[in-house]
Protein backbone atom coordinates (compact mmCIF):
# COMPACT_ATOMS: atom_id res chain seq x y z
CA UNK A 1 0.00 0.00 0.00
CA UNK A 2 2.71 2.43 1.01
CA UNK A 3 4.76 1.49 -2.01
CA UNK A 4 1.69 1.98 -4.16
CA UNK A 5 1.13 5.47 -2.77
CA UNK A 6 4.81 6.26 -3.15
CA UNK A 7 4.66 5.25 -6.81
CA UNK A 8 1.68 7.50 -7.39
CA UNK A 9 3.41 10.51 -5.86
CA UNK A 10 6.53 9.66 -7.78
CA UNK A 11 4.54 9.61 -11.04
CA UNK A 12 2.73 12.84 -10.24
CA UNK A 13 6.06 14.50 -9.58
CA UNK A 14 7.51 13.28 -12.86
CA UNK A 15 4.46 14.33 -14.87
CA UNK A 16 4.55 17.76 -13.27
CA UNK A 17 8.21 18.21 -14.14
CA UNK A 18 7.59 16.98 -17.66
CA UNK A 19 4.74 19.44 -18.11
CA UNK A 20 6.52 22.44 -16.64
CA UNK A 21 9.42 21.73 -18.96
CA UNK A 22 7.00 22.21 -21.85
CA UNK A 23 6.05 25.69 -20.68
CA UNK A 24 9.68 26.54 -20.11
CA UNK A 25 10.79 25.45 -23.56
CA UNK A 26 7.88 26.37 -25.77
CA UNK A 27 8.77 30.09 -25.76
CA UNK A 28 12.56 29.90 -26.04
CA UNK A 29 14.39 29.51 -29.36
CA UNK A 30 15.37 27.57 -31.37
CA UNK A 31 11.90 26.85 -32.73
CA UNK A 32 11.51 23.58 -34.62
CA UNK A 33 8.98 24.97 -37.06
CA UNK A 34 9.43 22.39 -39.79
CA UNK A 35 8.85 19.51 -37.42
CA UNK A 36 5.84 21.30 -35.94
CA UNK A 37 4.23 21.67 -39.36
CA UNK A 38 4.96 18.04 -40.18
CA UNK A 39 3.30 16.96 -36.94
CA UNK A 40 0.27 19.15 -37.63
CA UNK A 41 -0.05 17.41 -40.97
CA UNK A 42 0.29 13.94 -39.45
CA UNK A 43 -1.97 14.63 -36.48
CA UNK A 44 -4.59 16.76 -38.17
CA UNK A 45 -4.81 15.79 -41.79
CA UNK A 46 -4.26 12.08 -41.34
CA UNK A 47 -7.00 11.86 -38.71
CA UNK A 48 -9.57 13.45 -41.03
CA UNK A 49 -11.04 10.23 -42.49
CA UNK A 50 -11.58 8.74 -39.05
CA UNK A 51 -13.13 11.91 -37.66
CA UNK A 52 -15.33 12.29 -40.75
CA UNK A 53 -16.79 8.83 -40.42
CA UNK A 54 -17.38 8.98 -36.67
CA UNK A 55 -18.73 12.53 -36.85
CA UNK A 56 -21.20 11.63 -39.55
CA UNK A 57 -22.42 8.54 -37.73
CA UNK A 58 -22.77 10.44 -34.43
CA UNK A 59 -25.07 13.03 -36.01
CA UNK A 60 -27.05 10.48 -37.96
CA UNK A 61 -27.58 8.10 -35.06
CA UNK A 62 -28.35 10.84 -32.59
CA UNK A 63 -31.11 12.16 -34.86
CA UNK A 64 -32.60 8.75 -35.51
CA UNK A 65 -32.56 7.84 -31.82
CA UNK A 66 -34.05 11.09 -30.52
CA UNK A 67 -36.80 11.36 -33.12
CA UNK A 68 -39.32 8.91 -31.59
CA UNK A 69 -39.14 10.54 -28.13
CA UNK A 70 -39.56 14.05 -29.48
CA UNK A 71 -42.34 12.88 -31.81
CA UNK A 72 -44.28 11.62 -28.78
CA UNK A 73 -44.45 15.18 -27.47
CA UNK A 74 -45.08 16.58 -30.89
CA UNK A 75 -41.79 18.44 -30.69
CA UNK A 76 -40.14 17.15 -33.84
CA UNK A 77 -39.26 20.66 -34.90
CA UNK A 78 -36.78 20.79 -32.02
CA UNK A 79 -34.83 17.92 -33.47
CA UNK A 80 -32.19 19.85 -35.45
CA UNK A 81 -31.55 22.24 -32.58
CA UNK A 82 -31.30 19.48 -30.02
CA UNK A 83 -28.92 17.40 -32.08
CA UNK A 84 -26.75 20.43 -32.78
CA UNK A 85 -26.62 21.31 -29.09
CA UNK A 86 -25.66 17.84 -27.93
CA UNK A 87 -23.08 17.58 -30.67
CA UNK A 88 -21.43 20.91 -29.99
CA UNK A 89 -21.57 20.86 -26.21
CA UNK A 90 -20.66 17.30 -25.49
CA UNK A 91 -20.67 14.52 -28.00
CA UNK A 92 -18.40 15.81 -30.76
CA UNK A 93 -15.68 17.05 -28.40
CA UNK A 94 -15.61 13.93 -26.26
CA UNK A 95 -15.92 11.34 -29.02
CA UNK A 96 -13.40 13.10 -31.25
CA UNK A 97 -10.99 13.42 -28.34
CA UNK A 98 -11.38 9.74 -27.53
CA UNK A 99 -10.74 8.83 -31.15
CA UNK A 100 -7.65 11.03 -31.09
CA UNK A 101 -6.52 9.44 -27.84
CA UNK A 102 -6.73 6.09 -29.59
CA UNK A 103 -5.00 7.18 -32.76
CA UNK A 104 -2.66 10.01 -31.80
CA UNK A 105 -1.70 9.35 -28.18
CA UNK A 106 -0.85 5.75 -28.90
CA UNK A 107 0.97 6.71 -32.07
CA UNK A 108 3.12 9.26 -30.28
CA UNK A 109 3.67 6.88 -27.36
CA UNK A 110 4.87 4.12 -29.67
CA UNK A 111 7.00 6.42 -31.80
CA UNK A 112 8.81 8.13 -28.94
CA UNK A 113 8.96 4.86 -27.01
CA UNK A 114 10.80 3.13 -29.82
CA UNK A 115 13.09 6.11 -30.27
CA UNK A 116 13.89 5.93 -26.60
CA UNK A 117 14.52 2.19 -26.64
CA UNK A 118 16.76 2.32 -29.71
CA UNK A 119 18.74 5.21 -28.19
CA UNK A 120 17.67 7.72 -30.84
CA UNK A 121 16.70 10.19 -28.13
CA UNK A 122 20.09 9.70 -26.49
CA UNK A 123 21.71 10.25 -29.88
CA UNK A 124 20.03 13.65 -30.19
CA UNK A 125 21.11 14.53 -26.70
CA UNK A 126 24.79 13.75 -27.29
CA UNK A 127 24.61 15.70 -30.52
CA UNK A 128 23.72 18.69 -28.31
CA UNK A 129 20.23 18.88 -29.77
CA UNK A 130 17.42 19.24 -27.27
CA UNK A 131 15.24 16.18 -27.92
CA UNK A 132 12.48 17.55 -25.70
CA UNK A 133 12.20 20.58 -27.93
CA UNK A 134 12.37 18.70 -31.18
CA UNK A 135 10.11 15.79 -30.27
CA UNK A 136 7.88 16.79 -27.37
CA UNK A 137 7.21 20.51 -27.74
CA UNK A 138 6.31 20.17 -31.41
CA UNK A 139 3.93 17.29 -30.81
CA UNK A 140 2.14 18.81 -27.82
CA UNK A 141 1.72 22.09 -29.70
CA UNK A 142 0.42 20.27 -32.74
CA UNK A 143 -2.20 18.27 -30.81
CA UNK A 144 -3.25 21.35 -28.83
CA UNK A 145 -4.01 23.15 -32.07
CA UNK A 146 -5.22 20.30 -34.27
CA UNK A 147 -7.65 18.57 -31.87
CA UNK A 148 -9.90 21.65 -31.52
CA UNK A 149 -9.92 22.00 -35.31
CA UNK A 150 -10.84 18.36 -35.68
CA UNK A 151 -13.66 18.84 -33.17
CA UNK A 152 -15.04 21.82 -35.11
CA UNK A 153 -14.83 19.73 -38.26
CA UNK A 154 -16.64 16.88 -36.48
CA UNK A 155 -19.35 19.35 -35.37
CA UNK A 156 -19.98 20.27 -38.98
CA UNK A 157 -19.95 16.72 -40.32
CA UNK A 158 -22.14 15.58 -37.41
CA UNK A 159 -24.77 18.16 -38.23
CA UNK A 160 -24.72 17.10 -41.83
CA UNK A 161 -25.26 13.52 -40.61
CA UNK A 162 -28.20 14.83 -38.59
CA UNK A 163 -29.63 16.40 -41.72
CA UNK A 164 -29.44 13.08 -43.57
CA UNK A 165 -31.05 11.32 -40.60
CA UNK A 166 -33.87 13.83 -40.49
CA UNK A 167 -34.56 13.45 -44.18
CA UNK A 168 -35.08 9.73 -43.84
CA UNK A 169 -38.44 10.44 -42.30
CA UNK A 170 -39.38 13.92 -43.32
CA UNK A 171 -38.52 16.39 -46.00
CA UNK A 172 -36.48 19.38 -44.86
CA UNK A 173 -34.27 21.50 -47.08
CA UNK A 174 -30.66 21.96 -46.04
CA UNK A 175 -31.27 25.71 -45.84
CA UNK A 176 -34.16 25.32 -43.42
CA UNK A 177 -32.22 22.76 -41.39
CA UNK A 178 -29.26 25.09 -41.11
CA UNK A 179 -31.33 28.04 -40.03
CA UNK A 180 -33.08 25.90 -37.40
CA UNK A 181 -29.68 24.84 -36.09
CA UNK A 182 -28.27 28.35 -36.04
CA UNK A 183 -31.33 29.68 -34.25
CA UNK A 184 -30.84 27.32 -31.37
CA UNK A 185 -27.10 27.74 -30.79
CA UNK A 186 -25.76 30.62 -28.74
CA UNK A 187 -22.25 31.83 -28.05
CA UNK A 188 -22.41 30.18 -24.64
CA UNK A 189 -22.86 26.77 -26.24
CA UNK A 190 -19.80 27.14 -28.40
CA UNK A 191 -17.33 29.01 -26.21
CA UNK A 192 -16.86 26.67 -23.18
CA UNK A 193 -17.02 23.61 -25.42
CA UNK A 194 -14.22 25.00 -27.59
CA UNK A 195 -12.06 25.93 -24.63
CA UNK A 196 -12.16 22.43 -23.27
CA UNK A 197 -11.04 20.93 -26.58
CA UNK A 198 -7.74 22.78 -26.23
CA UNK A 199 -7.21 20.98 -22.95
CA UNK A 200 -8.16 17.68 -24.57
CA UNK A 201 -5.58 18.33 -27.27
CA UNK A 202 -2.90 19.34 -24.83
CA UNK A 203 -3.32 16.24 -22.69
CA UNK A 204 -3.58 13.88 -25.65
CA UNK A 205 -0.17 15.09 -26.82
CA UNK A 206 1.34 15.39 -23.39
CA UNK A 207 0.37 11.91 -22.22
CA UNK A 208 1.53 10.27 -25.44
CA UNK A 209 4.88 12.04 -25.22
CA UNK A 210 5.30 11.35 -21.52
CA UNK A 211 4.60 7.64 -21.85
CA UNK A 212 6.92 7.32 -24.82
CA UNK A 213 9.68 9.41 -23.31
CA UNK A 214 9.63 7.45 -20.07
CA UNK A 215 9.65 4.04 -21.76
CA UNK A 216 12.11 1.68 -20.11
CA UNK A 217 14.63 -0.39 -22.00
CA UNK A 218 13.49 -3.37 -24.03
CA UNK A 219 11.11 -3.63 -26.94
CA UNK A 220 8.09 -4.76 -24.93
CA UNK A 221 8.04 -1.39 -23.19
CA UNK A 222 7.16 0.23 -26.54
CA UNK A 223 3.86 -1.65 -26.62
CA UNK A 224 3.27 -0.82 -22.99
CA UNK A 225 3.92 2.87 -23.61
CA UNK A 226 1.41 2.96 -26.48
CA UNK A 227 -1.18 1.04 -24.52
CA UNK A 228 -0.96 3.01 -21.32
CA UNK A 229 -0.97 6.26 -23.31
CA UNK A 230 -4.41 5.39 -24.72
CA UNK A 231 -5.82 4.32 -21.36
CA UNK A 232 -4.49 7.32 -19.46
CA UNK A 233 -5.45 9.81 -22.16
CA UNK A 234 -9.03 8.45 -22.41
CA UNK A 235 -9.49 8.60 -18.67
CA UNK A 236 -8.04 12.11 -18.55
CA UNK A 237 -10.47 13.25 -21.23
CA UNK A 238 -13.45 12.16 -19.14
CA UNK A 239 -12.06 13.83 -16.05
CA UNK A 240 -11.39 17.10 -17.86
CA UNK A 241 -14.85 16.93 -19.38
CA UNK A 242 -16.42 16.57 -15.96
CA UNK A 243 -14.43 19.47 -14.56
CA UNK A 244 -15.24 21.61 -17.60
CA UNK A 245 -18.97 20.95 -17.30
CA UNK A 246 -18.94 21.79 -13.59
CA UNK A 247 -17.08 25.02 -14.24
CA UNK A 248 -19.41 26.00 -17.06
CA UNK A 249 -22.36 25.39 -14.75
CA UNK A 250 -20.79 27.59 -12.12
CA UNK A 251 -19.99 30.54 -14.34
CA UNK A 252 -22.70 30.62 -16.99
CA UNK B 1 36.01 33.09 -19.74
CA UNK B 2 36.48 32.92 -23.48
CA UNK B 3 40.12 33.80 -23.18
CA UNK B 4 40.61 31.05 -20.66
CA UNK B 5 39.11 28.54 -23.05
CA UNK B 6 41.29 29.40 -26.03
CA UNK B 7 44.23 29.29 -23.70
CA UNK B 8 43.61 25.70 -22.66
CA UNK B 9 42.91 24.78 -26.26
CA UNK B 10 46.28 25.97 -27.47
CA UNK B 11 47.91 24.24 -24.54
CA UNK B 12 46.39 20.87 -25.44
CA UNK B 13 47.38 21.39 -29.03
CA UNK B 14 51.03 21.90 -28.23
CA UNK B 15 51.49 19.57 -25.31
CA UNK B 16 50.93 15.97 -26.32
CA UNK B 17 50.77 14.57 -22.82
CA UNK B 18 47.95 16.65 -21.51
CA UNK B 19 44.99 14.41 -20.78
CA UNK B 20 41.87 15.37 -22.69
CA UNK B 21 39.73 12.90 -20.82
CA UNK B 22 40.25 12.16 -17.16
CA UNK B 23 37.98 9.95 -15.10
CA UNK B 24 38.62 9.60 -11.38
CA UNK B 25 36.88 7.17 -9.03
CA UNK B 26 33.74 6.76 -11.09
CA UNK B 27 30.89 4.87 -9.44
CA UNK B 28 27.56 3.92 -10.95
CA UNK B 29 24.96 1.41 -9.88
CA UNK B 30 21.46 0.56 -11.06
CA UNK B 31 19.50 -0.39 -7.97
CA UNK B 32 21.44 -3.22 -6.42
CA UNK B 33 23.49 -3.83 -9.53
CA UNK B 34 26.82 -2.11 -8.93
CA UNK B 35 28.22 -1.68 -12.41
CA UNK B 36 31.15 0.70 -11.99
CA UNK B 37 33.10 0.58 -8.78
CA UNK B 38 35.83 3.16 -9.07
CA UNK B 39 36.99 3.58 -12.67
CA UNK B 40 40.15 5.59 -13.18
CA UNK B 41 41.36 6.41 -16.64
CA UNK B 42 42.85 9.17 -18.67
CA UNK B 43 43.35 9.63 -22.38
CA UNK B 44 45.94 11.97 -23.81
CA UNK B 45 45.51 14.23 -26.78
CA UNK B 46 45.66 12.29 -30.01
CA UNK B 47 45.66 8.90 -28.33
CA UNK B 48 43.50 5.87 -29.17
CA UNK B 49 42.46 4.02 -26.06
CA UNK B 50 40.82 0.63 -26.54
CA UNK B 51 38.58 -0.71 -23.77
CA UNK B 52 37.99 -4.43 -23.57
CA UNK B 53 35.78 -6.37 -21.20
CA UNK B 54 33.17 -9.09 -21.01
CA UNK B 55 29.64 -8.34 -22.11
CA UNK B 56 27.81 -6.44 -19.37
CA UNK B 57 30.96 -5.28 -17.63
CA UNK B 58 30.00 -1.62 -17.98
CA UNK B 59 31.97 -0.41 -20.98
CA UNK B 60 29.05 1.36 -22.61
CA UNK B 61 27.98 2.86 -19.29
CA UNK B 62 31.45 4.32 -18.80
CA UNK B 63 31.42 6.29 -22.04
CA UNK B 64 27.81 7.29 -21.51
CA UNK B 65 28.87 8.84 -18.19
CA UNK B 66 31.56 10.66 -20.10
CA UNK B 67 29.03 12.59 -22.19
CA UNK B 68 26.53 13.02 -19.40
CA UNK B 69 23.94 10.64 -20.88
CA UNK B 70 24.09 8.58 -17.71
CA UNK B 71 24.51 10.50 -14.49
CA UNK B 72 27.31 9.07 -12.38
CA UNK B 73 26.71 8.36 -8.71
CA UNK B 74 30.12 9.55 -7.66
CA UNK B 75 33.41 10.60 -9.21
CA UNK B 76 35.08 13.20 -11.31
CA UNK B 77 34.79 13.26 -15.10
CA UNK B 78 37.02 15.83 -16.74
CA UNK B 79 36.71 16.49 -20.46
CA UNK B 80 38.83 19.33 -21.90
CA UNK B 81 39.66 20.25 -18.30
CA UNK B 82 36.02 20.78 -17.36
CA UNK B 83 34.32 18.54 -14.84
CA UNK B 84 31.13 17.66 -16.67
CA UNK B 85 29.38 16.57 -13.51
CA UNK B 86 29.46 20.14 -12.25
CA UNK B 87 28.22 22.17 -15.22
CA UNK B 88 24.76 23.06 -16.55
CA UNK B 89 23.13 21.81 -19.74
CA UNK B 90 24.26 24.69 -21.92
CA UNK B 91 27.89 24.29 -20.95
CA UNK B 92 27.59 20.55 -21.32
CA UNK B 93 26.18 20.99 -24.82
CA UNK B 94 29.15 23.11 -25.82
CA UNK B 95 31.37 20.20 -24.86
CA UNK B 96 29.12 17.63 -26.50
CA UNK B 97 29.47 19.38 -29.86
CA UNK B 98 33.18 18.65 -29.70
CA UNK B 99 32.60 14.96 -28.97
CA UNK B 100 31.42 12.30 -31.43
CA UNK B 101 29.57 9.31 -30.05
CA UNK B 102 28.98 6.15 -32.05
CA UNK B 103 26.21 4.10 -30.46
CA UNK B 104 26.49 0.34 -30.19
CA UNK B 105 23.36 -0.06 -32.34
CA UNK B 106 24.00 3.00 -34.51
CA UNK B 107 20.79 4.70 -33.24
CA UNK B 108 19.95 6.17 -36.65
CA UNK B 109 16.81 8.33 -36.69
CA UNK B 110 14.25 5.93 -38.19
CA UNK B 111 11.93 8.60 -39.51
CA UNK B 112 14.65 10.35 -41.52
CA UNK B 113 16.52 9.42 -44.67
CA UNK B 114 20.29 8.99 -44.53
CA UNK B 115 20.70 12.53 -45.87
CA UNK B 116 18.48 13.97 -43.16
CA UNK B 117 20.18 11.86 -40.50
CA UNK B 118 23.50 13.44 -41.38
CA UNK B 119 22.15 16.92 -42.01
CA UNK B 120 20.21 16.99 -38.75
CA UNK B 121 23.17 17.84 -36.54
CA UNK B 122 25.07 19.76 -39.18
CA UNK B 123 22.21 22.18 -39.88
CA UNK B 124 21.75 22.93 -36.21
CA UNK B 125 25.34 23.47 -35.23
CA UNK B 126 27.01 24.94 -38.29
CA UNK B 127 25.24 28.18 -39.04
CA UNK B 128 24.99 29.73 -42.44
CA UNK B 129 25.54 26.65 -44.57
CA UNK B 130 23.92 26.92 -47.97
CA UNK B 131 21.96 23.86 -49.11
CA UNK B 132 24.70 23.18 -51.62
CA UNK B 133 27.47 23.22 -49.00
CA UNK B 134 25.35 21.03 -46.76
CA UNK B 135 24.95 18.49 -49.55
CA UNK B 136 28.68 18.53 -50.26
CA UNK B 137 29.58 17.94 -46.61
CA UNK B 138 27.11 15.07 -46.35
CA UNK B 139 28.43 13.46 -49.54
CA UNK B 140 31.98 13.80 -48.32
CA UNK B 141 31.47 11.93 -45.05
CA UNK B 142 29.39 9.31 -46.82
CA UNK B 143 32.21 8.73 -49.29
CA UNK B 144 34.58 8.31 -46.36
CA UNK B 145 32.55 5.37 -45.10
CA UNK B 146 32.05 4.05 -48.63
CA UNK B 147 28.30 4.49 -48.82
CA UNK B 148 27.83 7.45 -51.14
CA UNK B 149 24.96 5.80 -52.98
CA UNK B 150 22.90 5.21 -49.84
CA UNK B 151 22.17 8.90 -49.43
CA UNK B 152 18.47 8.67 -50.28
CA UNK B 153 17.75 5.45 -48.44
CA UNK B 154 15.77 5.16 -45.22
CA UNK B 155 17.45 3.41 -42.25
CA UNK B 156 14.98 0.53 -42.53
CA UNK B 157 16.37 -0.25 -45.99
CA UNK B 158 19.95 -0.63 -44.75
CA UNK B 159 21.72 -3.75 -43.58
CA UNK B 160 23.22 -3.90 -40.09
CA UNK B 161 26.71 -3.16 -41.34
CA UNK B 162 25.51 -0.27 -43.48
CA UNK B 163 23.65 1.20 -40.49
CA UNK B 164 26.83 1.02 -38.48
CA UNK B 165 28.78 2.85 -41.16
CA UNK B 166 26.10 5.54 -41.56
CA UNK B 167 26.18 5.89 -37.77
CA UNK B 168 29.91 6.37 -38.05
CA UNK B 169 29.45 9.02 -40.72
CA UNK B 170 26.95 10.83 -38.54
CA UNK B 171 29.34 10.68 -35.60
CA UNK B 172 32.14 12.24 -37.62
CA UNK B 173 30.23 14.89 -39.50
CA UNK B 174 31.02 17.73 -37.07
CA UNK B 175 34.74 16.79 -37.10
CA UNK B 176 34.80 16.15 -33.35
CA UNK B 177 38.00 16.43 -31.33
CA UNK B 178 37.09 13.41 -29.23
CA UNK B 179 35.37 10.35 -30.65
CA UNK B 180 33.87 7.59 -28.54
CA UNK B 181 33.26 4.43 -30.55
CA UNK B 182 31.02 1.77 -29.03
CA UNK B 183 31.86 -1.40 -30.93
CA UNK B 184 32.53 0.13 -34.37
CA UNK B 185 33.22 -3.19 -36.09
CA UNK B 186 30.83 -5.60 -34.40
CA UNK B 187 28.62 -7.38 -36.89
CA UNK B 188 30.74 -6.47 -39.89
CA UNK B 189 32.61 -8.92 -42.10
CA UNK B 190 36.40 -9.07 -41.73
CA UNK B 191 37.11 -6.99 -44.79
CA UNK B 192 34.74 -4.21 -43.81
CA UNK B 193 36.03 -4.37 -40.23
CA UNK B 194 39.50 -3.87 -41.54
CA UNK B 195 38.36 -0.90 -43.61
CA UNK B 196 36.64 0.64 -40.60
CA UNK B 197 39.78 0.19 -38.51
CA UNK B 198 41.79 1.92 -41.24
CA UNK B 199 39.23 4.67 -41.29
CA UNK B 200 39.55 5.19 -37.53
CA UNK B 201 43.30 5.55 -37.89
CA UNK B 202 42.90 7.91 -40.84
CA UNK B 203 40.57 10.11 -38.86
CA UNK B 204 42.90 10.10 -35.90
CA UNK B 205 45.78 11.25 -38.09
CA UNK B 206 43.86 13.73 -40.18
CA UNK B 207 41.78 15.44 -37.48
CA UNK B 208 44.16 14.72 -34.58
CA UNK B 209 41.27 13.21 -32.68
CA UNK B 210 41.44 11.55 -29.31
CA UNK B 211 39.39 8.38 -29.15
CA UNK B 212 38.07 5.69 -26.89
CA UNK B 213 37.23 2.53 -28.77
CA UNK B 214 35.16 -0.19 -27.16
CA UNK B 215 35.47 -3.44 -29.01
CA UNK B 216 35.39 -7.23 -28.88
CA UNK B 217 37.22 -7.45 -32.17
CA UNK B 218 40.88 -8.16 -31.36
CA UNK B 219 42.03 -7.42 -34.88
CA UNK B 220 40.54 -3.96 -34.61
CA UNK B 221 42.05 -3.55 -31.12
CA UNK B 222 45.49 -4.50 -32.36
CA UNK B 223 45.24 -2.29 -35.38
CA UNK B 224 43.93 0.87 -33.76
CA UNK B 225 45.11 0.88 -30.18
CA UNK B 226 47.87 2.98 -28.64
CA UNK B 227 46.91 1.60 -25.27
CA UNK B 228 44.39 -0.97 -23.97
CA UNK B 229 42.41 -1.28 -20.79
CA UNK B 230 40.44 -4.27 -19.61
CA UNK B 231 37.38 -3.77 -17.45
CA UNK B 232 36.46 -6.37 -14.86
CA UNK B 233 34.16 -6.24 -11.85
CA UNK B 234 33.64 -2.50 -12.19
CA UNK B 235 37.30 -1.52 -12.15
CA UNK B 236 40.15 -1.32 -14.66
CA UNK B 237 41.73 -4.73 -14.22
CA UNK B 238 44.68 -4.37 -16.56
CA UNK B 239 46.26 -1.72 -18.70
CA UNK B 240 49.05 -1.63 -21.26
CA UNK B 241 49.95 -1.86 -24.90
CA UNK B 242 48.67 -4.73 -27.03
CA UNK B 243 52.01 -6.52 -26.90
CA UNK B 244 52.31 -6.12 -23.14
CA UNK B 245 48.86 -7.47 -22.36
CA UNK B 246 49.24 -10.32 -24.83
CA UNK B 247 52.16 -11.58 -22.74
CA UNK B 248 50.54 -10.81 -19.39
CA UNK B 249 51.07 -13.12 -16.42
CA UNK B 250 47.36 -12.98 -15.71
CA UNK B 251 45.69 -15.88 -17.48
CA UNK B 252 42.30 -14.13 -17.53
CA UNK B 253 43.86 -11.19 -19.38
CA UNK B 254 45.63 -13.47 -21.84
CA UNK B 255 42.37 -15.25 -22.62
CA UNK B 256 41.18 -12.14 -24.49
CA UNK B 257 44.01 -12.55 -26.95
CA UNK B 258 43.56 -16.18 -27.87
N1 LIG C 1 19.38 1.76 -18.12
C2 LIG C 1 19.81 0.74 -17.34
N3 LIG C 1 19.10 0.34 -16.29
C4 LIG C 1 19.52 -0.67 -15.51
N5 LIG C 1 20.65 -1.36 -15.71
C6 LIG C 1 21.41 -1.02 -16.76
C7 LIG C 1 21.04 0.05 -17.63
N8 LIG C 1 21.98 0.17 -18.57
C9 LIG C 1 22.90 -0.78 -18.31
N10 LIG C 1 22.58 -1.49 -17.23
C11 LIG C 1 23.38 -2.59 -16.62
O12 LIG C 1 24.71 -2.15 -16.57
C13 LIG C 1 25.58 -3.22 -16.88
C14 LIG C 1 26.62 -2.77 -17.88
O15 LIG C 1 26.00 -2.42 -19.08
P16 LIG C 1 26.82 -1.95 -20.36
O17 LIG C 1 25.83 -1.63 -21.41
O18 LIG C 1 27.76 -0.89 -19.97
O19 LIG C 1 27.62 -3.25 -20.74
P20 LIG C 1 28.75 -3.42 -21.85
O21 LIG C 1 30.05 -3.61 -21.14
O22 LIG C 1 28.68 -2.30 -22.82
O23 LIG C 1 28.34 -4.79 -22.51
P24 LIG C 1 28.29 -5.19 -24.08
O25 LIG C 1 29.64 -5.58 -24.47
O26 LIG C 1 27.34 -6.32 -24.12
O27 LIG C 1 27.77 -3.99 -24.82
C28 LIG C 1 24.74 -4.39 -17.32
O29 LIG C 1 24.75 -5.33 -16.28
C30 LIG C 1 23.35 -3.82 -17.48
O31 LIG C 1 22.42 -4.75 -16.99
MG1 LIG D 1 27.97 -2.03 -24.68
List, in sequence order, the alpha helices (H) in chain B: 2-14, 59-66, 89-97, 114-125, 131-144, 160-172, 190-207, 218-224, 242-246, 251-254
Indicate which atom in ligand 1 lies nearest the CA of residue B57.
Answer: 21
B60 CB within 6 A, ligand 1:
yes
Helices A106-117, A187-213: inter-axial angle, 10-degree rounding: 20
Nearest to B61 by CA among B88, B29, B25, B93: B29
Q: What is the DSSP string of A137-182?
A: IHHHHHHHHHHHHHHHHHHHHHHHHHHHHHHTTS---HHHHHHHHH
Map out the domains of chain A as residue ranges: 13-27+47-251
pTM above 0.95, yes or no: no
Q: What is the DSSP string of B151-192?
A: TT--GGGS-HHHHHHHHHHHHHTT--SEEEEESSSTTS-HHH
Pocket test for ligand 1, best of B31, B34, B35 (most atoms within 8 A of CB): B35
Residue A119's region, left for phi above 0, alpha for psi from -120 to 50, else beta, is left
The predicted model gives A153-165 an average pLDDT of 93
Predicted local confidence at residue B12, as pLDDT: 43
Q: What ipTM does this complex have?
A: 0.87
Each residue's pLDDT tens digit, B141-181: 899 888 889 899 999 999 888 898 899 999 999 989 999 99
Q: Centre a 10 Å sphere on the Cβ of residue B227 and count the other Cβ atoms it contains.
A: 18
CB A71 within 8 A of CB A175: no
Each residue's pLDDT tens digit, B207-226: 889 999 999 989 899 989 99
CATH number of B1-98+183-258: 3.40.50.300
Q: How confident is the model at residue B14 (pLDDT cuts 50, 70, 90)?
A: very low
CATH 3.40.50.300 residue spans of chain B: 1-98+183-258
Each residue's pLDDT tens digit, B107-126: 999 999 999 999 999 988 88
CB A203 within 8 A of CB A238: no
Each residue's pLDDT tens digit, A230-244: 999 999 999 999 999
Q: How confident is the model at residue B128 (pLDDT cuts 50, 70, 90)?
A: confident
Pocket test for ligand 1, best of B57, B183, B213, B236 (most atoms within 8 A of CB): B57
Predicted local confidence at residue A52, as pLDDT: 95
Q: How confident is the model at residue A71 (pLDDT cuts 50, 70, 90)?
A: confident
Q: Evaluate the CA torsion angle B90, B91, B97, B103 in order and state its sign.
A: negative
B104 CB within 6 A, ligand 1:
yes
A17, A117, A147, B130, B190 from B141: Cα distances, Å: 39, 27, 42, 17, 22
Predicted local confidence at residue A189, as pLDDT: 85
Beta strands B235-240 and B99-102: pairing type?
unpaired
First and final C-alpha spacing in chain A: 42
Predicted local confidence at residue B16, as pLDDT: 58
Each residue's pLDDT tens digit, A78-136: 888 888 999 999 999 999 999 999 999 999 999 999 999 999 999 999 999 999 999 99
Cβ contact A122–B96 (<8 Å): no
Instruction: Count Cβ–Cβ pairs < 8 Å, chain A vs chain B.
Output: 47
Mention every residue, 6+ apart, whose C-beta is less than 8 A from residue A102: A230, A234
| Mean of the per-residue pLDDT values of chain A | 91
Amino acid sequence: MIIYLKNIFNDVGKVTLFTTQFFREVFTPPYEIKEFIKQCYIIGYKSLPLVTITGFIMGLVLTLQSRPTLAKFGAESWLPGMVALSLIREIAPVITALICAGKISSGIGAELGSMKVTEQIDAMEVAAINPYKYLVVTRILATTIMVPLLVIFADGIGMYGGYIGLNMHSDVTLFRYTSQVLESITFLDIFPATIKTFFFGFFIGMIGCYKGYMAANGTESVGKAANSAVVTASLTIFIIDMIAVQLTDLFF
Amino acid sequence: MIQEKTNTDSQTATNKNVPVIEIKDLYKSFGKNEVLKGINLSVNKGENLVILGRSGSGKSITIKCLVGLVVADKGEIKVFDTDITKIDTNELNEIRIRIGFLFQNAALYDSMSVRENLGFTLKRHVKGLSPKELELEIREVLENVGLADAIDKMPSELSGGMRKRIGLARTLILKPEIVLYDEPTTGLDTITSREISELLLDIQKKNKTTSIIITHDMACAKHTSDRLMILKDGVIHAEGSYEELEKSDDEWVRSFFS
